[in-house]
Structure 1
Amino acid sequence: MGRRRARWTGRPGGAWHVTARVAVVGEALVDLLWPTGSREARAVPGGSPANVAVGLHRLRRPVTLLTSWGDDPPGALVGEHLAAIGVDVVRLPTEGPARTTVALAYLAENGSAHYDFLTSWTPAALPLPEDTAVVHTGSLAVAVEPGASRVLELARQQRALGRMVVADLNVRPAVRPDRAAYRALAERLAAEVRVLKASDEDLSWLYPEQDTEEAAETLRALGPELVVVTRGAQGAFGLTPAHRIAVPAPEVRVVDTVGAGDAFQAALLDALATRGAVPTEPEELRRVLTRCARCAALTCAREGADPPTRAQLDGTGAR
């Protein structure tokens, strides 16, 4: 895929354009979807950052996914999936032989998923495209070493350069069960980004002694201009230094929730790249979050991580 240069000056407040590129840094993996009561699992390509990149591609946002996978059967599935969709991919060099991460996704009858992971994340370098305007990361990419430390350092460097850095915590206790260590990691990440997203489940695990809004404010006070919290069927809210804006979740027939948070994040990144600034005014933030919630809801109405196209999200195309 050809890369169009974003009109970005390299400093906050610079000129942006709707073609501003998002660089997504993190894992592509294979989900083994295992429904309750079933004796069989189904292998599908996924990974939160990869899903976000696919979502951005479907929204017609220039996007590059920086990821890695192994020369193994799960890796072949990942590579074929991304090539078929047409996502621009930088397959990262790794330290030693690469192995594809595999996630066991246990699906409950209500469509929710519980995960366990066999992980590998050892990027030797993280070369961003020159025209990157927004950098996104999160999930296993900031939790699994040695790659996590390198991604956090990348976030620090890129924010210092003036690029918009965004993250989705997407907490995975299965890969880092030490709550205090995970909380310290989340707080370090919060200090390096301008926008941070988390789910209410993420926050309740990280801060069991606080309610959702207190935990969100704890993270916002560390540096982000905006913290967005998703709450499943209860919608989402955004927290800035001056405002708390909540939006409802559209009513849909839920097939499963796989990829819903990633679809929400793709819509959020698309809005940030279009604006070139963090939406902090109440009505602007409400419009952004409403569109993100719709993107997540459309994904819940379909099986697996299957985010909508821009036409579907805008209501001009078939679902």
Structure 2
Amino acid sequence: MPSRRIVVVGEALVDLVAGADRRIHVAHPGGSPLNVAYGLARLGRPTSLLTRIGDDTFGALVRDHLHRAGVDLLAPPEPGLATSLATVTLDAEGAARYDFRIDWDLPAHGPLPRDTAAVHTGSIAAALEPGASEVRALLVTERDRGRATISFDPNCRPALMGDPRTARARTEQLVALSDVVKASDEDLRALYGERPVEDVAAAWLDLGASLVVVTRGAHGSYAAGRAATVTRPAAPADVVDTVGAGDSFMSALLDSLAREQCLGGDRRPALAALSADALTRIVDRAARAAAVTVGRTGAMPPDLAELDATAPAGQGTQPDPLPAR
């Protein structure tokens, strides 16, 4: 039977990528939620994206990109709307800096698909009004229904986040609605300064999350669940650029949780009971997805065959345990 769906809610835009010389070299579809949806579909996960794009040239670029991966758009393009843009400047080490031209709110939409097992959001969609309040209201509705796992990645954009205290309060409201939270150590510094990662993860578990994963770039990752914690090294990688690496990690994290039978409102006890061995499998697979992405230009996550090829012997694809219902 087919597996259950993951719905991603958030911005889709076009990245205008410039090199260290600041000349525009290429236009890529982007936006953290779009990248997560694209990565999930590349891994074979039924995926829908609730986003807002225009019926313009850049919107067509976004639609074609998502269509090729098999992502279902839950709202049509809007006539007269300019699709959002981000200028991405890469430094000599491949690290990215972003400048945005974006207005964000949710498009008109119906109920989420009945086979939804998880709802994911984050980044600009969770921070920029008026859309951020609409996203929070949608998460409250889905949380009250009890059918779906809620996941959140703050993916902080300092240029858009406003006052850090306000951003921290907003982030903690969403953490309290979420089952799974993924953040980078840079996100935590933007929100909490030099507060230790372990302390923030513990505080977020106290707010209500069942799993908190913090990525640390080349220094690996830290995962804190209700039953176990693990610290894992980064997967080996030859870095070309870092665009989309965290989103690839998020996609593979959610896909791996599905394979561990931990997505869906009825699976919350299993999520809370994840062992150290299970967390290690989940986080290491997500790290390998990120390593593939940073090894090539643009936010191009691996497909399932590519990700399986990076797995240690005996750790390839497992049967999908989440039948549609």
**TM-score in terms of structure 1 length:** 0.88
After TM superposition, give the deviation of residue 273 of structure 1 in Å. 2.5
- State the alpha-carbon separation in 2 of the partners of residues 121 and 237 from structure 1: 31
Match of 2:73 among 78, 82, 89: 89
**Deviations 1:132-165 (CA, angstroms, capped at 9, x unpaired):** 1111111111111111111111112212222111
Match of 1:263 among 238, 241, 248: 248
Q: Which runs of 5+ in 1 are unaligned?
A: 7-18
Tell me the percent identity: 48
The one-letter amino acid paired with 1:81 is H
Superposed CA RMSD in Å reads 2.0
Show the counterpart of 2:295.
301
Show the counterpart of 1:216.
201
Show the counterpart of 1:148.
132
After TM superposition, give the deviation of residue 66 of structure 1 in Å. 1.1
**Deviations 1:256-293 (CA, angstroms, capped at 9, x unpaired):** 11111111111111122231342621111111101010
- State the alpha-carbon separation in 1 of the partners of residues 102 and 74 from structure 2: 19
The one-letter amino acid paired with 2:30 is G
Q: Confirm or deny that 1:134 pairs with 2:118.
A: yes
After TM superposition, give the deviation of residue 34 of structure 1 in Å. 1.3
Number of aligned residue pairs: 300
Show the counterpart of 1:111.
94
Is the contact made by 2:14 and 2:85 (CA closer than 8 Å) also made in structure 1? yes
Is the contact made by 1:70 and 1:100 (CA closer than 8 Å) also made in structure 2? yes
After TM superposition, give the deviation of residue 116 of structure 1 in Å. 1.6
- What pairs with 1:7-86 in structure 2 (closer than 5 Å)? 19-86=3-70
Is the contact made by 1:21 and 1:273 (CA closer than 8 Å) also made in structure 2? no
Is the contact made by 2:55 and 2:77 (CA closer than 8 Å) also made in structure 1? no
- What pairs with 1:141-180 in structure 2 (closer than 5 Å)? 141-162=125-146, 163-180=148-165
Is the contact made by 1:252 and 1:298 (CA closer than 8 Å) also made in structure 2? yes
Show the counterpart of 2:279.
285
After TM superposition, give the deviation of residue 220 of structure 1 in Å. 2.4
- State the alpha-carbon separation in 2 of the partners of residues 185 and 97 from structure 1: 31
- State the alpha-carbon separation in 1 of the partners of residues 222 and 200 from structure 2: 13
After TM superposition, give the deviation of residue 197 of structure 1 in Å. 0.6
After TM superposition, give the deviation of residue 210 of structure 1 in Å. 1.1
**Deviations 1:201-255 (CA, angstroms, capped at 9, x unpaired):** 0001100141222222222221101111011111111112343211111111111
- State the alpha-carbon separation in 1 of the partners of residues 89 and 206 from structure 2: 35
**TM-score in terms of structure 2 length:** 0.87
Is the contact made by 1:66 and 1:92 (CA closer than 8 Å) also made in structure 2? no
Show the counterpart of 1:98.
81
Q: Give the match's secondary structure for 2:28.
A: strand
Is the contact made by 1:26 and 1:49 (CA closer than 8 Å) also made in structure 2? yes
Is the contact made by 1:25 and 1:137 (CA closer than 8 Å) also made in structure 2? yes
Is the contact made by 1:98 and 1:120 (CA closer than 8 Å) also made in structure 2? no
